[in-house]
A and B are shown apart, each in its own frame.
Chain A
Amino acid sequence: MATRVLLVPPLARSVQRSPFWLLLPVGLLYGALALLPIGVILRLGLSDGGAPLRTVLHSPLLLRATENTVVISLLTTIIAVALGTLLAVALWRAGATLRSLLWACILLPFWTGVLIKNFAWASLLQDNGVVNAMLLALGVTDHPLTLLHTRFAVIVGMVHYVLPYAVFPIFTSLQAIDPLLERAARSLGAMPRRVVWLVILPLIVPGLSNAGLLVFIVSCGFFITPVILGAPSDMMIANLIDYYVHELVDFNAAAALSILILAAIAVLIALQQMLPKEGQHGTA
């Protein structure tokens, strides 16, 4: 008995895809709320032949704020990437239930938002807070340590915030590793420690650098945490902008500062794009 075949005519690719003008909404929104403001910022910051830029560059506050930002962000990045790698590896090795549990622990702070976290840390680190209570109880010290309103508190708060951002890229690159590579290496005589050093580590370098860059950039932009957990001397770049806007009411200078920040971020991203993309996974 002959069968009839229903043919699905091949349609042009363009018919399958969604129309390009769907990008219009996002374009309008970003255009109005991002490009336009940036245009305004550029205009204000570079007005008067660049006078606001000069004001900002000569301000001693800038030096202080930049130094704080770089140092604090660098420390935060190093700690966050280290801890993030630990968590990512644990996630990678864990069975299904343990993995869900770990994800829940990592994502809960991600969802609770910066204000809550800082508030909680403020409560925890204050002189009669939990941390001091524990230190006293354990006999580590005999009087409460000043933990709040210090650089230490700022770094604690920042690491706590950025840790999930560090875990995601590292975990992704771990997952991309062919599971048979470890077995191959061991079958060829490699002891487990050498497998980690010679096979796994080289393959997660892109993930590590992505995590580091993301965490560093996010850290540089912090505003709330230095205010709540830090001392006035821990002022970071974002706080400086706020200072220019709300205290000195010098919008031009604030704009000039914003230009500097955006330029710095652009440079960082460009640098990272230039890093050799080692460890691309092309298997059969």
Chain B
Amino acid sequence: MNVALPIAATAPLGEARHHLSVEHVWKSYTSGVHVVRDVSFTLAPGEFLTLLGPSGSGKTSTLMMVAGFEAPTRGAIRVDGRDVAQLPPERRNFGVVFQGYALFPHMTVLDNVAFPLRMKGLGGAARRRAAMEMLDKVGLADFAARRPRALSGGQQQRVALARALVFEPDALLLDEPLGALDRKLRESLQIEIKEIQRRVGVSILFVTHDQDEAMMMSDRIAVMQDGQIAQLGAPDEVYLHPETPFVAGFLGDTNLLRGQCVGLGEGAAIVRFAGDAIGPARLSRGGGRPGVGDAVLVSIRPERIGLLRPDEVAACVIEGVVADRVFLGRHTRLVVHALGQMLVVSVAEPPGADVVAGAAVRLGWSREDAQILHEMGTGATR
């Protein structure tokens, strides 16, 4: 069940059946800097939730608070309803994979994976057997007797995963685990992690700054900015219906258009753009309804703007002049001068030879493609 939660809900966050619940958590240092501001989300059993944001957005700090390495200044963290704030990291039963993997260099791969079982008090033979099974699952059984430094980055990553999963934790916490790897390796490991999650059924809280990675792996994404969650929802929801300019811009390219609200309807508004073009746009969930006459900001993704044939119609049609055309393999990118600004249009099929710089074109989009944005507040609730 992928339900996009409103950003700053005052209602209690779910019943005790939610596995992990982060509730109105703040983190600030003595210098007065707030690194995490009123962050709330839940992680359902078996769910893959990603905290996505640029560096400094507070995503790693949030993860560290869930893991127990930092204490929230305000707010609560609950597992199955129980407040875990007093529990030190070694008692929280989360598997953590750190940046750089943090494998113990003086132990063999097998001893690394067996370590958490040893902490749980399992006997030597039993824990080695269980560790071996785990290594087998990640395909590294042959490397059991080696030292971590003899393994490649991708292999070390898998050992770190095995080590974090072997003791059947309540959830898996991953802090940008794939950052140090090259693209091909990263992609194959993304698939592997998803595969492991499906097989083992563990909940995952994932931190990354890579939007493609977040979209590919997550059930839900929490986009973070300056310590707050700007938007929380399924990948398609967050991509197609961003709430704020930051979210719209962070998850891919977008066109931002300024206009004036000239009418309101069911879930949509009529917007007049520069040059008197008029078209519908979806209202944002969290921003409230604009009044008639208010200025609005609208986001439209480049691939949602269509190049119209002379006889085609759309919900909103505008005229423009092509400024540049680039063939990028998977799509062709046009920069079009329209509505008093430069719009980026992405077309899958290469347009006709007559669509070159200087050519006049007609562009169009439908109501679902245009999204009204609002600026984010400071986290205060309505």
Chains A and B in contact, CB within 8 Å: yes
CB distance from B198 to the nearest CB of A (A): 23
B34 at the interface (CB under 8 A from A): no
B148 CB–A CB distance under 8 Å: yes
A282 near B105 with CB under 8 A, answer yes
Q: B residues 85-132 with Cβ under 8 Å of A? A: 88-96, 98-106, 115-116, 119-120
CB <8 Å contact, B88 and A185: no
Q: Is B147 an interface residue (CB 8 A)?
A: yes
Instruction: Say which residue of B94, B98, B147, B149 sits within 8 Å of A180 (CB atoms).
Output: B98
Task: State which of A194, A281, A284 has its C-beta within 8 Å of the C-beta of B119.
Answer: A194
Q: Contact size class for B? A: 20 to 34
Q: Which residue of B lies closest to A182 (CB)?
A: B102
With A189-B119, A283-B103, A284-B156 in contact, is A184–B98 under 8 Å at CB? yes
Complex contact A188–B105 (CB within 8 A): no
The answer to whether the Cβ of B67 comes within 8 Å of any Cβ in the partner chain is: yes
Chain A interface category by residue count? 20 to 34
Residues on B with beta carbons closer than 8 Å to the beta carbon of A188: 90, 95, 115-116, 119, 163-164, 167
How many Å from the CB of B239 to the closest CB on chain A?
32
Cβ of A142 under 8 Å from chain B: no
Inter-chain CB contacts under 8 Å: number: 82
Of chain A, the residue at the smallest CB distance from B89 is A186
Residue contact B116 to A282, C-beta cutoff 8 Å: no
Is B327 part of the binding interface, using a Cβ–Cβ cutoff of 8 Å? no
Other than A178-B105, A283-B103, A284-B100, give 15 A-B pairs with Cβ distance below 8 A.
A180-B100, A183-B69, A183-B89, A183-B102, A184-B98, A184-B104, A185-B115, A188-B115, A188-B116, A188-B164, A189-B167, A203-B105, A280-B105, A283-B102, A283-B105
A interface residue numbers (CB < 8 A to B) = 178, 180-181, 183-191, 194, 199, 202-203, 278-284
5 smallest beta-carbon distances between A and B, as pairs: A282-B149, A189-B119, A184-B102, A188-B116, A187-B96
Query: What are 20 A-B residue pairs whose CB atoms fall within 8 Å in the complex?
Result: A180-B100, A181-B104, A183-B67, A184-B96, A184-B103, A186-B89, A186-B90, A187-B67, A187-B90, A187-B95, A188-B95, A188-B115, A188-B167, A190-B90, A190-B115, A190-B119, A279-B106, A281-B149, A283-B100, A284-B156
